[in-house]
Structure 1
Amino acid sequence: MTCFSRRGFLAAGAATLAATQFPIRAFGQAAAPLRLAATRRTLDIDGRAATVFGLAGPGGQGLVLDPGQRFRVDLDNDLPVPTIVHWHGQIPPNAQDGVPDMPQPLLAPGETRSFDFAPLAGTHWMHSHVPIQEMQLLAAPLIVRRPEDVAADRQEVVLFLHDFSFKAPEEVLAEITGGHGTAASGAMQGMGHGGMHGGAGTAGSMAMPMDMGTMGGMAMDLNDYDWDAYLANDRTLSDPEVVSVERGGRVRLRVINAAAATVFWIDTGTVEGQLVAVDGHPVRPLAGSRFGVAMGQRLDIEIDLPNEGSAWPVLALREGARERTGIVLATPGATIGIIDALAERVAPAFDTDLAQEASLVGIDALPERPVERRHMIMLGGAMRPYAWTIDGAVWGQHRPIAAKSGERVELAFHNMSMMGHPMHLHGHAFQVVGINARRFAGARRDTVYVPPMSMVTVALDAGETARWMLHCHHMPHLATGMMTEFRVEA
């Protein structure tokens, strides 16, 4: 059960649920640092054992911090390989940001490194900044609770999403970059694009209707790999996690897309929810039963359950495909039916018109001030050959994006490829201020999805003088060089 509970259950539930896999509750402001271990673990995936990585905290995978609690953590590398962990959504001192050799090296096996900073509140996560390790599930939730979270009469539930392959990540990357990850449509190959992708040998894959995966009549590139499983809290729908809830209770669902290369739609089914935060930052409540979330992004959805005994699946639907995963919210004694891992219909592509992003209004908006520096950032690439670039270059051949500390900066991400790119900036929280030619005061974020042939503009105040990573959070794109640096100078 992945939850922090309502009313008096917070105190009583800790002992009862101590064996749960994901973090249950905050552990208070301890005098000693919390211990977090990069380690190996074994999952049961559809009856087959899988050895994966993980980040084990005091109460399971991940960490939950109390309001006002510092992020004081000793990270132990219990793996047989070097690693490093990035605190996604947080703004630590640059030396603690968790990028290999920028500036700290990887942790050697058996090494411990200490971290200490004031965290940002909200739904965040942490993961290895070595792409093949993130594909091995070296990731976990990082929840920093606000005072109102403690005071509210509601239950908190974490929904942590992964895509998974039984193959080694090196083999997966070789298949993707070699053009064997999915079966390409021939429609766009003459233009250097792979076209629509159904998949190689995956039962749930099928070609999309034209209105589901096209941009102005051109086929989008979706789902460049068909994974063996799609996981919600380390489980598939053959044995989903069942979260015990109260009749008529309120649930705050904290959704984290930790997948390597899969965009999901979160479908709350017969109970409508309200989207109240993205990437840990509050937004004006947006009602609905289906919200999209790209890799690296987070959603907080509040759900008021009916005052009846029942079970309510919350499903994550793979965009452009039929595969799905999820959890079940259920009152005690409710009948829980079998949920097929394949939906009857193909889910549409995510936010091709940016309608969801355009609907978000940030509550913690940046203060208004003149923009002192603007950058146009070109996102490019193609499926054949498999190469993805920022400003026409891959990492190592990149030209840094410069700013001075304290400047108001606008970054306009212009995607000229036929794949969407979730763009993540380290060390900063920005605000979405433009979609194509339209200006508006959108959500605060750290990861923004830029669909094909679109432009999204974000504003930020340049922070600590340092080199900060800016990259696509699609792991095969990152692994093949889709990364640059936001270089802040004094």
Structure 2
Amino acid sequence: MTITLNRRGFLTATAALAASTAFPFASQGQEPVRRLVASTRTIEVNGKTASVYGISGPDGRQGLTLDPGERFALTLENSLDVETIIHWHGQLPPNAQDGVPDMPMPKLASGEIRSYDFEPLAGTHWMHSHVPIQEMNLLAAPLIVRSVEDVAEDRQEVVMFLHDFSFKNPETILEEITSGTGHGDMSHGSSMPMDHGGMDMERMDMSDMESMSTMAMDLNDFDFDAYLVNDRTLDDPELVHVERRGRVKLRIINGSSATSFWIDTGVDGRLVAVDGHKVAPITGRRFGLAMGQRLDIDLDLPTESRAFPILALREGERERTGLILAPRGAAVPTMSGMSDTAAPAFDVDFSQEAALQALDPLPERTVSNSRMVMLEGTMSPYVWTIDGRGWGEHEPIVAKSGERVELTFHNMSMMGHPMHLHGHAFQVVGHGSRRFWGAVRDTVYVPPMASVTIAIDAGEAARWMLHCHHMPHLSTGMMTEFRVET
């Protein structure tokens, strides 16, 4: 990784280099062919303009798509007037390129350019600032790495990048959340029925599952002004032209700061990958994803010449967003941003997650390191912790490089937590007392008052972040480190 175009960046980078012996450089002095720019941009939401952040690619659009076999070889320029750093969510770069402030690299100063070069993982991923208030201000974008199989499959690829949006600045949002004024119902919770979506229930063994018919939960702790797909609401949705009987791959990314969604495809689809990792296909019309998670859904559209709305439903509420697939000449319906009824809570009984089976699972090995990880917190006072400690007072979870580790997240709170581990892909292997060989992921949703177990093969000896991907939870302390030693 080469760094700087200014003196400040040079000095901070030099200090970090002295502290790290595993500093990666761009390959053989070759100039990267790709360029990303973190900058301020203007979008229109519900008829009003808003200034937000963004990450533009070489074509000027938000995000980046890499071709099969292409290296992640690029420069990142910080054109903002504040320091920033970008995390490549779902990728497994060397630790120094992971994109966490001072672990080990500092944030990029305004005007600084930094180079990256590593072998990327194919799949649907994304990139975002690892400064929570910046991610809340839309400093995030898709990161798609296409595979040879994607090309051979010859499906039209449609990216849906979800985000929650407020005209208020993120500092004000966090103040309202922590003071208890962000969501009118949050002090009372929400009694929400569980939902199994449109999945093929024959694949599930419900008798072995710990399930809940209803549960008082705190689902949402802030009412955002809008919910976006590719920067747009249903008042002015993106219209994607498709062929009649078209074959479509939806690449859905939940880049929201504090909102889980149900995806309603309206027609039968097949869930074929989560977090960029393939799973045995599951048929259905409704699939959910928490913050930080991704879904790949294959659609074979019907023959009729009509539009096909693809909707994202805010859990526990009536708000919805989406985009519209439309053959040429099809009438495009006017869609309301509000459903007639509230969507259910997301996967509280773990039925969706337990039905997933990895097509490329971790190898079976003896577990040599097991650890319980306690997730705790309350709405008032608004404090969220891991093992009873916030960031800065945390005790690292320690593993040795190469060993098989199991972590059991025990959620003792009334909110769900999407737990994300940097630098590793893990496999979901348990829910409560039930064991199974589930999906490979990088972000797992842990429902309220539940426990979820993941298996990991500890990788590069380094400090790797482990945190809740709910930004207000992360901001108030729900973050620790997975420290891998030699």
Provide TM-score, normalisation by structure 2: 0.89
- Aligned residue pairs: how many? 441
Q: Quick one: distance in 1 between partners of 2:46 and 2:178?
A: 28
Please state whether the residue corresponding to 1:392 is helix, strand or coil.
coil
Match of 2:217 in 1: 220
The correspondence for 1:233, drawn from 230, 235, 245, is 230
Match of 1:111 in 2: 112
Q: Quick one: distance in 2 between partners of 1:368 and 1:145?
A: 28
Please state whether the residue corresponding to 2:151 is helix, strand or coil.
helix
Q: Quick one: distance in 2 between partners of 1:356 and 1:216?
A: 15
The correspondence for 1:254, drawn from 244, 251, 254, is 251
CA contact (8 A) 1:215 1:452 kept: no
Q: Deviations over 1:116-137 (max 9, x none)?
A: 0000000000000000000000
Q: Quick one: distance in 2 between partners of 1:76 and 1:146?
A: 27
CA contact (8 A) 2:194 2:345 kept: no
CA contact (8 A) 2:374 2:412 kept: yes
Q: Quick one: distance in 1 between partners of 2:269 and 2:328?
A: 22
CA contact (8 A) 1:429 1:445 kept: yes
1:155 partner amino acid: Q
Q: Quick one: distance in 2 between partners of 1:81 and 1:103?
A: 19
1:183 Cα shift? Answer: 1.6
Match of 1:446 in 2: 442
Q: Quick one: distance in 1 between partners of 2:192 and 2:427?
A: 34
Q: Deviations over 1:162-214 (max 9, x none)?
A: 000000100000000011111236xxxxxxxx3325xxxxxxxxxx55668x9
CA contact (8 A) 1:257 1:297 kept: yes
Matching of residue 41 in structure 1 with residue 38 in structure 2:
no
CA contact (8 A) 2:270 2:299 kept: yes
Match of 1:265 in 2: 262
Match of 1:181 in 2: 182
Match of 2:206 in 1: none
1:45 partner amino acid: V
Matching of residue 463 in structure 1 with residue 459 in structure 2:
yes
Q: Which segments of structure 1 move beyond 4 Å, counting only runs of 4 or more?
A: 208-212, 214-218
1:446 partner amino acid: D
The correspondence for 2:373, drawn from 366, 371, 377, is 377
Q: Quick one: distance in 2 between partners of 1:211 and 1:232?
A: 25
Quickly say closer, same or farther: Cα 1:210–1:34, change in 2 above 3 A.
Answer: closer
Quickly say closer, same or farther: Cα 1:32–1:210, change in 2 above 3 A.
Answer: closer
Provide TM-score, normalisation by structure 1: 0.88
Q: Quick one: distance in 2 between partners of 1:210 and 1:154?
A: 36
Match of 1:5 in 2: none
- Percent identity over the alignment is 67
The correspondence for 1:426, drawn from 422, 431, 437, is 422
Please state whether the residue corresponding to 1:288 is helix, strand or coil.
strand
Matching of residue 283 in structure 1 with residue 279 in structure 2:
yes
Match of 2:135 in 1: 134
Structure 1 residues 380-395: aligned runs within 5 Å: 380-395=376-391
Please state whether the residue corresponding to 1:356 is helix, strand or coil.
helix
Q: Which runs of 5+ in 2 are unaligned?
A: 1-29, 196-210
Q: Deviations over 1:9-61 (max 9, x none)?
A: xxxxxxxxxxxxxxxxxxxxx96331100001100101100000000001211
Q: Quick one: distance in 2 between partners of 1:275 and 1:105?
A: 38
Match of 1:53 in 2: 53
1:141 Cα shift? Answer: 0.4
Structure 1 residues 57-76: aligned runs within 5 Å: 57-59=57-59, 60-76=61-77
Please state whether the residue corresponding to 1:342 is helix, strand or coil.
coil
1:80 partner amino acid: D
Q: Quick one: distance in 1 between partners of 2:174 and 2:218?
A: 17
CA contact (8 A) 1:163 1:231 kept: yes
Match of 1:410 in 2: 406
CA contact (8 A) 2:193 2:215 kept: no
Q: Quick one: distance in 2 between partners of 1:217 and 1:336?
A: 37
